């Protein structure tokens, strides 16, 4: 993780495979621009874009510049005007290479281009290869880079950034890891989960380990259960083809939701060193009790109204089969079997076309042990909650009981709130700045190690298998604009619990 006073990374060539893709335009180059604004780009660098379509460097640069302003800020930070003093050094460093990802000639040409850039800009042999392509190319590119001798350089570092999806089940994740590890060492590989680029996700560690208050109650003695929600109001939009092959479980759970679980449930590391943190996360995944299909619920959205707008059912979306059984919602119950968490369920849910966009980790504390207030027996008191809001209204809220003013001893649930935007000025960011900076400086804290990725797939594997072999009943089973299928409520009702309402931080 980056220190508060950061220094620019060393000189480096950044090679983007998939240079004409969405990710490059929407996130990677805008993040580089934001790094330039904060003085955190390498002092000397080259930006080499590779893709299979015919495009000149001029055209590539022009296309990216066209939509840059629109992308440099996501969220509430005001979109700044693009300033030439930051854009020019990036534009000058850009060079486009047309090439087929599977053709050895592409890598021979890349080798020449890299050598030329290195000589001209004195990059010390350092290169970062960014796989911003469809996942079917990951293994091919890594193998070709290795065979062309590009994964090692005596003078500098060679690193690889791999985007999600990292495999589509345990077997394919293992095969991909094995393929990458044949070409380079684990410490050269940076597997991105963009949720770890979110400030509020990184803040979970600060909350837990920079304060003396929370850690002593962060366990089975005081915590009743944890609810993790990543609710999206968007549908699958133009990604029907991808989604039909993926579904909500693969798309969100072993990666994004499990990162939230790991941040919440991991043991304190002995240091903030990448290996120490990653070891604790891997240990946590090892402690998850094997799931069965009964621990999970799936759903698919029907047509409905989302924030006043009529939207179609999943089965009516472009490139989706009219009888598709792919899930757009998943809820599950995880048990972590270790001394800290034994007996404390972690309930997870995520879905598309829910009522609002809202992500949070809600920790419910146990009730007081004794009914002191006779008008309100202990079992009727509202529970205490600590809610970590990830998006869109980033903050922390503590809900507890207070006495309502007046002669009677009447209790009411109240909340204390900390909102990020009240304390910290938001710099324009796309959420990839820290991740890219960390790769450039070789800090792997926020990236997934091979064992972590495989452990996460291992956890969801029984559910994936179970779902493959059974046709879901009653699909579609939730209307767009609602909080998901009723079956998700039954999952908690079985344990005598219920979900929190999905809503924005305002209100009670
Ligand atoms: C992506 C998923 O990884 O994360 C998308 O493929 C999902 O389906 C997205 O919408 C959510 O990320 P964010 O940052 O918009 O919450």
Point out the ligand 1 atom lying closest to the alpha carbon of residue 255. Answer: 3
* Cβ count within 10 A of residue 241: 12
Residue whose token pair is 């960014």: 130
By most ligand atoms within 8 Å of CB, the mutation choice from 228, 233, 251, 435 for ligand 1 is 251
Ligand 1 touching residue 164 (CB < 6 A): yes
Distance, CA 252 to ligand 1 centroid (Å)?
Answer: 7
Point out the ligand 1 atom lying closest to the alpha carbon of residue 391. Answer: 16
Ligand 1 touching residue 232 (CB < 6 A): yes
DSSP assignment of 217-247 equals GSSTTTEEEEEEEEE-----TT-HHHHHTTH
Distance, CA 116 to ligand 1 centroid (Å)?
Answer: 37
Contact at 8 Å (CB) between 44 and 90?
A: no
The answer to whether the Cα torsion of 46, 51, 52, 54 is positive or negative is negative
Predicted pLDDT of residue 421: 87
Predicted pLDDT of residue 508: 40
Ligand 1 touching residue 250 (CB < 6 A): no
Point out the ligand 1 atom lying closest to the alpha carbon of residue 357. Answer: 16
d(CA 456, CA 505): 30
* Sequential pLDDT tens for the chain (508 residues): 444 478 999 999 999 999 999 999 999 999 999 999 999 999 999 999 999 999 999 999 999 999 898 888 865 555 668 999 999 999 999 999 999 999 999 999 999 999 999 999 999 999 999 999 999 999 999 999 999 999 999 999 999 999 999 999 999 999 999 999 999 999 999 999 999 999 899 999 999 999 999 999 999 999 999 999 999 999 999 999 999 999 999 999 999 999 999 999 999 999 989 999 999 999 999 999 999 999 999 999 999 999 999 999 999 999 999 999 999 999 999 999 999 999 999 999 999 999 999 999 999 999 887 767 666 665 677 889 999 999 998 899 999 998 889 887 778 889 999 998 899 887 778 999 999 999 999 999 999 999 999 999 999 999 999 999 999 989 999 999 999 999 999 999 999 999 999 987 654 4
d(CA 209, CA 196): 17
**CA geometry: angle 425, 430, 433, nearest 5 deg:** 90
* Minimal-distance CA residue to ligand 1 atom 13: 195
Tokens of 311: 């939207």
Distance, CA 246 to ligand 1 centroid (Å)?
Answer: 13
N residues, the chain: 508
Distance, CA 374 to ligand 1 centroid (Å)?
Answer: 48
Count CA atoms within 13 Å of residue 240 on its CB side.
Answer: 15
Distance, CA 99 to ligand 1 centroid (Å)?
Answer: 29
Ligand 1 touching residue 158 (CB < 6 A): no
d(CA 88, CA 90): 5
89 alpha carbon, distance to own chain's centre: 30
* Minimal-distance CA residue to ligand 1 atom 4: 252
From edge to edge, which strands make up the β-sheet containing 358-365?
296-299, 329-335, 345-351, 223-231, 358-365, 385-391, 395-403, 411-419
d(CA 357, CA 307): 11
* Minimal-distance CA residue to ligand 1 atom 10: 232
H helices of 346-441, in order, are 420-423, 433-441
* Minimal-distance CA residue to ligand 1 atom 8: 251
d(CA 178, CA 181): 5
As a whole number of Å, the CA-based R_g of the chain is 24
Residue 351 makes CB contacts below 8 A (sequence gap 6+) with 231, 232, 248, 299, 301, 328, 329, 330, 478, 484
d(CA 171, CA 468): 15
Q: What is the DSSP letter of 336?
A: B
Distance, CA 432 to ligand 1 centroid (Å)?
Answer: 13
Q: For 339-397, how does the pLDDT look when each residue is reduced to its tens digit (9 = 90+)?
A: 999 999 999 999 999 999 999 999 999 988 776 766 666 567 788 999 999 999 889 99
Residue whose token pair is 């324009």: 428
Point out the ligand 1 atom lying closest to the alpha carbon of residue 232. Answer: 10
Contact at 8 Å (CB) between 194 and 132?
A: no
Whether a cis peptide bond, with omega within 30° of 0, leads into 286 is no
- The helix (H) or strand (E) run that includes residue 306 is strand 301-306
* Minimal-distance CA residue to ligand 1 atom 5: 251
d(CA 465, CA 80): 47
Ligand 1 touching residue 251 (CB < 6 A): yes
Three-state SS for 81-149 is CCCHHHHHHHHHHEEEEECCCCCHHHHHHHHHHHHHHHHHHCCCCCEEEEECCCHHHHHHHHHHHHHCC
Distance, CA 152 to ligand 1 centroid (Å)?
Answer: 33
Contact at 8 Å (CB) between 374 and 397?
A: no
Predicted pLDDT of residue 426: 76
By most ligand atoms within 8 Å of CB, the mutation choice from 75, 247, 256 for ligand 1 is 256
> Rounded to whole angstroms, what are the CA distances from 373 to 364, 366, 401, 408, 449?
21, 17, 12, 11, 50
Beta bridge partners of 416: 398
Which active-site residues does the annotation give? 256
Distance, CA 85 to ligand 1 centroid (Å)?
Answer: 32
């Amino acid at each position: 993780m980056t220190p508060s006073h950061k220094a620019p990374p060393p000189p480096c060539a950044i090679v983007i495979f998939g240079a004409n893709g969405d990710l490059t335009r929407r996130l990677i180059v805008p993040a580089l621009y934001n790094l330039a604004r904060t003085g955190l780009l390498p002092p000397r660098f080259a930006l080499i874009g590779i893709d299979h379509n015919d495009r000149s460097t001029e055209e590539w640069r022009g296309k990216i510049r066209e939509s840059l302003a629109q992308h440099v800020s996501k969220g509430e930070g005001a979109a700044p005007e693009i300033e030439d003093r930051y854009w020019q050094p990036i534009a000058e460093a850009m060079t486009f290479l047309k090439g087929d990802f599977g053709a050895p000639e592409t890598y021979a040409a890349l080798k020449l281009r890299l050598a030329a850039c290195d000589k001209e800009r004195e990059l010390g042999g350092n290169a970062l290869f960014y796989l911003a392509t469809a996942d079917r190319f990951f293994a091919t590119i890594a193998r070709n880079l290795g065979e062309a001798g590009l994964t090692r350089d005596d003078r500098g570092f060679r690193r690889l950034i791999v985007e999600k999806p990292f495999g589509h089940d345990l077997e394919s994740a293992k095969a991909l890891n094995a393929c990458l590890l044949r070409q380079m060492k684990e410490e050269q590989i940076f597997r991105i989960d963009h949720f770890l680029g979110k400030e509020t996700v990184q803040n979970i560690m600060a909350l837990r380990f920079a304060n003396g208050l929370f850690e002593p109650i962060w366990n089975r003695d005081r915590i009743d259960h944890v609810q993790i929600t990543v609710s999206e109001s968007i549908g699958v939009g133009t990604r029907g083809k991808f989604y039909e092959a993926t579904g909500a479980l693969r798309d969100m759970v072993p990666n994004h939701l499990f990162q939230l679980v790991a941040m919440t449930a991991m043991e304190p590391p002995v240091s903030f060193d990448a290996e120490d943190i990653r070891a604790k996360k891997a240990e946590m995944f090892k402690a998850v009790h094997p799931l069965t299909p009964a621990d999970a619920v799936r759903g698919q959205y029907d047509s409905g109204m989302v924030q006043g707008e009529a939207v179609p059912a999943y089965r009516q979306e472009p490139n989706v089969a009219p009888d598709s059984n792919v899930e757009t919602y998943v809820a599950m119950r995880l048990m972590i079997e270790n001394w800290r968490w034994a007996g404390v369920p972690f309930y997870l849910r995520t879905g598309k076309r829910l009522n609002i966009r809202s992500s949070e980790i809600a920790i419910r504390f146990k009730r007081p042990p004794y009914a002191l207030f006779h008008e309100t027996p202990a079992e009727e008191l509202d529970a205490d909650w600590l809610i970590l809001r990830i998006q869109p209204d980033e903050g922390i809220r503590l809900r507890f009981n207070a006495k309502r003013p007046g002669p009677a001893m009447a209790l009411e649930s109240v909340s204390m709130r900390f909102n990020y935007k009240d304390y910290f000025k938001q710099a324009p960011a796309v959420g990839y700045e820290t991740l890219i900076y960390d790769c450039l400086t070789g800090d792997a804290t926020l990236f997934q190690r091979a064992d972590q990725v495989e452990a996460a797939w291992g956890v969801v594997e029984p559910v994936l298998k179970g779902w493959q072999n059974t046709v879901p009943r009653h699909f579609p089973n939730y209307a767009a604009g609602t909080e998901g299928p009723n079956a998700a409520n039954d999952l908690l009702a079985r344990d005598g619990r219920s979900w929190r309402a999905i809503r924005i931080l305002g209100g009670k």
